[in-house]
Amino acid sequence: MSKQWRRVRTALNLDWVTSHTFRKTVATLIDEQGLSARVGADQLGHAQISMTQDVYMGRKTVHTEVADALDRIVQ
């Protein structure tokens, strides 16, 4: 399967698309739909939820106070 996939993605000029890309996309879609990290871990076959959260799910938290503090320092 890997050899065939490499040929297809090369022919389509999609060398950057890997099986990991697909897994990350699935995790992102699960996360965006508001499903739990447990659901994501189960779907991806992870025993530990932390693996799913740390590697596959993005952090949505933005701390604007950090940007504000940095702006004050630079000004």
Interatomic CA distance for residues 47 and 38, integer angstroms: 9
Length of the chain, in residues: 75
Q: Quick check: 48 pLDDT over 80? A: yes
Predicted pLDDT of residue 60: 67
Tokens of 38: 């447990």
What are the pLDDT digits (tens) for 8-36?
Answer: 889 999 888 888 888 888 898 998 898 99
Q: Quick check: 4 pLDDT over 80? A: yes
Predicted pLDDT of residue 61: 67
- Model pTM score: 0.63
Q: Which amino acid is at 6?
A: R
Predicted pLDDT of residue 19: 82
Interatomic CA distance for residues 35 and 13, integer angstroms: 33
